[in-house]
Structure 1
Amino acid sequence: MTTQEVADKLVGYCRQGQFENAIQDLYGQNIVSLEPKGSPAEKTVGMENVLKKTAQFNEMVEEFHGMEISDPIVADKFFSCTMKMDVTFKGAPRNTMEEICLYKVEGGKIVQEEFFFTPAPQA
C-alpha cells in the first residue's frame, strides 16, 4: 500500500472507532509509539504493547461522547491528521482532548506514530 492508502485506511478505521483493527491491519510488528514527555506512556515499542496501551486507555474511559479526525495530509512516507475526542474519564469531568498525530510508513505499514498534545497533570 502507498502512504496515501495507509493514511486513508487509518482515518477510516479511527472514524469508526476501530482502533484495534487499525493497529492489527496497518501497523508493523516493531511499531514505535511516542507521546509527549509527562505522558503515562512516553514510548511504547511493538504491536502487542501498543495494543495493550490502547486497551489501558479504553479502560480509563467512562464514556465517549464523540470524536473527529481530519483528512490526512500526506508527504513522502509521512502523514498527519488531527484528532479531537469528547470523552469522560472514570472519576473525572467531561473533557475535550485534541492532538496532532504523525505517522511514518515503510513497506506499506505504519512503523512509527507520534502524538502531540498537552498531557494532563498526573496525580
Structure 2
Amino acid sequence: MNTQEVANALVQFCREGKNFDAMNELYADNIVSEEPKGAHQEFTNGKEAVIGKSKQWFESVEEIHGGTVSDPIVSGNFFAVTMDTDVTFKGMGRVNMQEICVYEVKDGKIVFERFFYNIPEH
C-alpha cells in the first residue's frame, strides 16, 4: 500500500472504532510512538508495546461519548489527521480531547506516529 492507501485505511478503521485492527494490520513491528512531553508514556517502541499503551488508555476510559476523525492530509511518506474525542476518564471526569496525529509510512506500514494534544489536568 502507498501512503494514501495506508492513511485512508487508518481513518476508516478509526471511524469504525476498530483501532486495534488498525494497529494489527497497518503498524510495522518496529513502530515508534511519541506522545507530548509529560504524557504517561512519552516514547513507546515496538508494535506490541504500542498496542499495550493503547489498551491502557482504553482501560482508563469510563465512557466514550463520541468523536471524529478528519480526512487525511498526505505529503510524501507522511500523513496527518485530526482526532477529536469526547471521553469520560475514570476518576478524572469528562474531557474533550483534540489532537493532531502525524504518521510516517515505509514499505506500506506505519513506522512512526506522533500525537500533539494538551494533556488533561487531573
TM-score, shorter chain, exceeding 0.5: yes
Trace 1:43-62 onto structure 2 (pairs within 5 A): 43-62=43-62
Q: Secondary structure at the match of 1:53?
A: helix
Separation in 1, partners of 2:93, 2:56: 19
Corresponding residue number in structure 2 for 1:66: 66
Corresponding residue number in structure 1 for 2:12: 12
Q: Secondary structure at the match of 2:105?
A: strand
Equivalent residue letter for 1:2:
N
Equivalent residue letter for 1:117:
Y
Separation in 2, partners of 1:100, 1:107: 23
Separation in 2, partners of 1:47, 1:93: 30
Offset at residue 120 of structure 1 (A): 2.4
TM-score (norm 2): 0.97
* Aligned residues: CA RMSD: 0.8
Offset at residue 94 of structure 1 (A): 1.4
Tell me the number of residue pairs that the alignment of Structure 1 and Structure 2 aligns: 122
TM-score (norm 1): 0.97
Listed as ranges, the gaps of 5+ residues in structure 1 are none
Report Cα offsets for 1:29-64 as digits up to 9, x if no partner: 000000110000100000000010010000000000
Separation in 2, partners of 1:93, 1:44: 26
Corresponding residue number in structure 2 for 1:89: 89
Listed as ranges, the gaps of 5+ residues in structure 2 are none
State which drifts further: 92-101 or 74-83.
Answer: 92-101
